[in-house]
Copies of this chain bind each other. A is one copy, B any other.
Amino acid sequence: MAPMAVTPPTEVEKTSDLTLNGIQAALKKAAPSQNPPTTLTPSLTQPTGTTKPSSSPPLPELDASLLQCTYADPSQLKPVLALDDPERQTQRVSTDHMIQAAWSTTKGWSAPTLTPYGPLSLMPSASCLHYATECFEGMKLYRGFDGKLRLFRPTLNCNRMLMSSTRIALPGFPPAELLKLILKLCATDGNRWLPPHQPGQFLYIRPTMIATDAAIGVQRPSEALLFIILTVLPPMDSVPGGVKLLASEDDMCRAWPGGFGYAKVGANYGPSLVAQGEARARGFDQILWLFGPEGVVTEAGASNFFVVWKEKETGKLQLVTNSLDRQIILDGITRRSVLDLARERLASTSSSSFNLEPLEIQERPFTMSEIALAAEENRLVEAFASGTAWFVAPVSKIQWKGKDIEVPMGEDGVMGGYTKAFKGWLRGIMYGEESERGNEWGVVVGDE
């Protein structure tokens, strides 16, 4: 058994509802007098994640207004990669700056810093190196065709980061303060790394929190570091010939009820890499993770999975994706946005204005057998994976129990009509070409 020590009390519920209400409901059971787990808006001024009794003065909260900036010397700025530079594929290039904020149970949140990008110094006994006390978010910074820099529904990411940090015993923070820090970093490096004359490009944003405790005990961390970096990521939504998925075998399981599959914690990723590597070696792009003896479809790699089929009895077209209630899949922002757009634009006969038949939208557990049967009966219409990195990526094949299920890829063989519609709408919002939803979902980054 690994060592441990007595730790401060905590009591936090899990949630996969990313609205403030949802997270607040999930955190309701936390004992605020003992260990206020977090504040959810900047207007709440209670300290977060501290162990002080409520009679003590509140510890400092994460506060973006205290940011201390040390900019890289202009002579030290990295060369910005050309669009055709092969180094873009390495996923190893970060921009020039990073933001950090340290937290401890005794001092609360320290003033955040913006500094030149560089290494972190961690003691070998740091909790995050042993016990996976770490969580992160994945977002993108988009250079719009209107010249503006935008984030896409970033409040949801910041709320989810709080939910993830809570699940992995890391401190809480006001999500709005995290968003301010992200916006500041994007404003600092965005203009140089996403030049206005190259619209349609993006950077990948990675807010991360790690436990930095140099104590070897298996215990709730008493020190943590929040950091935000921006990296260069190649587009991944145009896999030639479509995404090929290998359905997981009965003896493989990504997440389970009562676990943490719904949270963006490191512990969901490392353990999937062996299976992912096996799938790659066999010519597939990702694992389609099934759950349980019924083969319930959960996630495609680390992305959500959608299928469009004709319902057997009624013949109606349905858009189906797994529901969040068992907490074994991530509440993806892209997933949520696809569902929102589908309900808004495709659920009624008004879908005809997009030259698409209306869809019934279902969030429910569905099985690999249902997909196989739909394919066999020529009712399978299309399927796609959705996520921040892969965006909306059409699926062309699923191998299950040794048999290939071919998934239609639309008339042009590139992607089906619904996949194309979702992709186009989202792209329009992300890159400032659609104002209807764009004003609500897009958050423009201010100039530095």
Contact = CB atoms under 8 A, between A and B. Distances in A.
Interface string A94-125: 10001000000000000000000101111111
A277 B130 contact: no
B91 A131 contact: no
A79 B181 CA distance: 42
Contacts of A217: 91
Contacts of A89: 5
Nearest to A100: B124
Contacts of A216: 91-92, 204, 206, 231, 233
Interface string A224-255: 00010101010010000000000000111100
A130 B7 contact: no
B236 A3 contact: yes
Given A123-B119, A210-B129, A229-B125, A12 B274 contact: yes
B260 A251 contact: no
A1 B125 contact: no
A2 B168 contact: no
A210 B300 CA distance: 26
A147 to B, nearest CB: 26
Q: Which of A98, A133, A251, A258 has the most CB of B within 10 A?
A: A258
A218 B269 contact: yes
B269 A130 contact: yes
A285 to B, nearest CB: 9
Contacts of A2: 136, 138, 264, 269, 302, 387-389
A347 interface: no
Interface centre among A129, A269, A389 (most CB of B within 10 A): A129
B120 A302 contact: no
Given A119-B121, A256-B259, A265-B270, A301 B168 contact: no
A184 interface: no
Contacts of A257: 251, 253
In order of increasing CB-CB distance, the 7 nearest A-B pairs are A1-B387, A9-B281, A1-B303, A253-B258, A132-B266, A267-B267, A3-B389
A447 interface: no
A271 B280 contact: no
A317 interface: no
B1 A302 contact: yes
Nearest to A393: B1
A313 B266 CA distance: 47
A220 interface: yes
A424 interface: no
Given A91-B215, A273-B220, A3 B122 contact: no
Contacts of A274: 10, 12, 166-169, 220
Interface in A22-69: 31, 34
A193 to B, nearest CB: 15
5 contacts: A3-B138, A11-B277, A121-B121, A130-B134, A266-B267
B231 A131 contact: no
Contacts of A321: none
A16 interface: no
Given A90-B215, A301-B4, A387-B1, A124 B229 contact: yes
A390 interface: yes
Given A3-B389, A266-B270, 13 more contacts: A1-B301, A1-B304, A1-B385, A1-B387, A3-B91, A3-B390, A4-B276, A8-B277, A121-B121, A124-B227, A132-B268, A169-B270, A220-B277
